Amino acid sequence: MPDPLNPTFASYKQGPITLAILGAGAWGTALAHLATSNQHRVRLWSRRGQISLSQAVAGAEIILSAVSMAGVPDLVRQLQPLAIPTTTILVTATKGLDPATTLTPSRIFRRAFPHHAIAVLSGPNLSQEIEQGLPAATVIACEHETAAEAVQHVFAGENFRTYRSNDPLGAELGGTLKNVIAIAVGVCEGLNLGVNARSALITRALPEVMQVGTRLGGHAQTFLGLSGLGDLLATCTSPLSRNYRVGYGLAQGKSLEQILAELGSTAEGVNTTPVLIAIAEREQISVPISQQVHRLLKGEISAEEAMAALMERQLKAEDYQQVLRGSSSP
């Protein structure tokens, strides 16, 4: 995309900037600490905080949204009347799909702010590990390369490596769709099915995610990078993942309501699953793993029945070339 704002964005790399982070949960707080450690001025806003939204974003060179998916549409509506300058970069770090529109957060921001640079921050980023200062990497994806570079410099640090991408939708979808798969892997682990089963499940989930992601406009190679395969591995192999814990709890016989109450925070995969199924039905895409997760979350089948259904599918060839061309069923 042509980048007429190059000089402005480039100036953001030359010294401390003012960054507004909207959402003071674990992820927003972790990102605030990263930016603060790089000597940037950070305003951390929440609905129950001490400053208003207009105060938080006033004069900010970068505004980053880290609210849950459910809060994104309302947040965007509140931001629209604030006359945010087009030189302000808008970043979304939320992973989810809007039930009303089936849009990702960046697409919702794009509709509301068509003249702004919209970036996506996504990767294998468990917030608890980042807060502990453990090494991690992420992707800053934006169609404006200089805007991506500016955001990249804000968060890059000794233990947090940032990479650029020009595929914000693909980066966002990789981080969103893997949450559904993490529920399935949590079930596999909760049933003690072993490493072989877990490895097979994650591997077969990748083409499923790619099928949906590329049909919606993401680039195939993006799903093989940090915001795709990298995030899939992190979320599917760590009990720090809330979505993994949902699947694990269901396999232990707990109700979904009990699990969510114990988590005390959002597991985006629970809300993403029905939207993903609606998209798959609309686009006529086969998503067998996600379909079993959907049935499990609705209480139609047990965890054991979900895994059995996947093992009993018709025998077929493993053909990833067709998946890369967007023409096969996983």
Backbone angles phi, psi at 261, to 5 degrees: -65, -40
Say which residues have a Cβ less than 8 Å from residue 185's Cβ, sequence separation at least 6.
198, 201, 202, 205, 236, 237, 244, 247
**Catalytic entry in 178, 254, 298, 316:** 178
178 part of the active site: yes
Could you tell me the two tokens for 122?
A: 């996504």
Q: Which residues pair with 91 in a beta bridge?
A: 64, 119
Beta strands in the chain (DSSP E): 18-22, 41-45, 62-65, 89-92, 118-122, 136-142, 160-165
Q: Look at strands 62-65 and 89-92 and give their pairing.
A: parallel
Helix ranges (H only) for 142-194 are 145-155, 168-190
Alpha carbon distance 78, 144 (integer Å): 25
Which of the residues are catalytic? 178
